[in-house]
A = this chain, B = another copy of it.
Amino acid sequence: VDEFDLIDRLIAPLATAPGAQGLGNDGATIAPGPGCELVITKDMMAEDVHFLADDPPDLIARKLLRVNLSDLAAMGARPLGYLLGLSSDGRRDETWFRAFCKGLQQDQEQFDVSLLGGDTIASPKGVLTLSLTAFGEVPVGHSLSRSAVQPDDLVAVTGTIGDAALGLRAIRGELAELDESKRMFLSDRYRLPQPRTVLGPALVGLAHAALDVSDGLIADAGHLASRSRLAVNLDWTRIPLSDAGRTALNRDSGLKSVVLGGGDDYELLFTFAPANLDQVEAVAFECGVTVTVIGTCAIGAGAHVFAPDGQEIGLQEDGWRHKS
C-alpha cells in the first residue's frame, strides 16, 4: 500500500490536462480538435528485455514515452497525452520512482503532453513491466499509413541510421576501438530516441506513406513494401550515418548488417512524390530535422539495398524482432 501511495503521490502532478480530471474518476476524457480524429498507440517495455534494472529510471520513462510518440509521429499525429500502466515487483525505492516521474515530467514539457490516467499494480513474482498508451490528433482520414506508397515515390529518412543498434553494442562493452565520446553518443541514441513529433504532422498531405524505424531499416522498408505491394530500393551510400556510426563502420565493415538490420532508431522513413522534394526539404528545414533521400519505389516487391556497383547487399543477420 505504501508503494501505491508513493506512486500515486509522485504521478498526480503529471496529470495536468483537464481531461485527466485530477486522476479522480474511473477514466479520463479526451477529444480531438475540430476536423481531427485521434491516433492511438500502445507500447510495452519490460525489465531485462527493453531496459536493465540499473538503467537510469528517468531515461526508462522517457524512452517509454518517446517510442509511443514516435508511433504517433509516424502516423502524422500531433501528440496530446498518455495513459501509464505500471506493474511493480516492489523492488524499487522512492528515489527510483521519483527519478522515473521526473523523466516523464521533463518529456511532458518538451513534447507538450499530459498524463491522463492509468493503472498501477503490484506483481511481486513478475518484473517491472510498463505499458503506455499515447494519444495524438490528425486531420480526419489523413493519418499517414504504411500502405500508401506510390510507384516512383522517393524514399527518405530523418536523422541518422544505425546509431541505436551500435549504441546497444557499445553499452554491452563492444566497439572498444571507438573513443569514449563516440561510444557515449551511440549509447545515448539507444537510450533516448528523438521522436520526430513536429515533422510527422508536417508531412500530412505531403508524404504518401510513413513509419518509424524501430525494427531496423531493412525490415521497416520491407513493411512499407509489403503493405503497399511495391518494391522499396535503397542506395547504401546515401543512408545517413552519424560521425560515430561512420567511424565504427570504417573500422569494421561487418557492422553494415547492424546498421541495416538493427532497430530502435525511431527515425521516420517515408515516401513522397518526386515533385514534392523541394517542399519536403523546406518543411524538414523548418522543423529542424535532417531529411535524406535514400531510395526510390517501383513496381515489384520487397526492400532492397544496393551498393554503388549495382549489386544488392544481403543482410548477414536478420533485424531482431521488435514489435512497435
Contact = CB atoms under 8 A, between A and B. Distances in A.
12 contacts: A24-B146, A24-B147, A27-B74, A29-B37, A30-B37, A31-B37, A47-B123, A49-B124, A50-B121, A83-B133, A126-B127, A126-B129
A46 B128 CA distance: 11
A41 B29 contact: no
A71 B125 CA distance: 27
Interface in A92-127: 116-127
Interface in A138-155: 138, 140, 143, 145-147
Interface residues of A, number: 69
Nearest to A121: B44
Query: Which of A26, A41, A83 is the most central at the interface, judged by chain B CB atoms within 10 Å of its CB?
Result: A26
A168 interface: no
A272 interface: no
A253 interface: no
Interface string A290-324: 00000000000000000000000000000001011
Interface of A: 1, 4, 19, 21, 24-32, 36-50, 70-72, 74-75, 77, 83-87, 116-127, 129, 131, 133-136, 138, 140, 143, 145-147, 211-212, 227, 321, 323-324
Given A48-B123, A48-B125, A38 B31 contact: yes
A269 to B, nearest CB: 11
A164 to B, nearest CB: 17
Nearest to A144: B25
Given A4-B321, A38-B29, A46 B127 contact: no
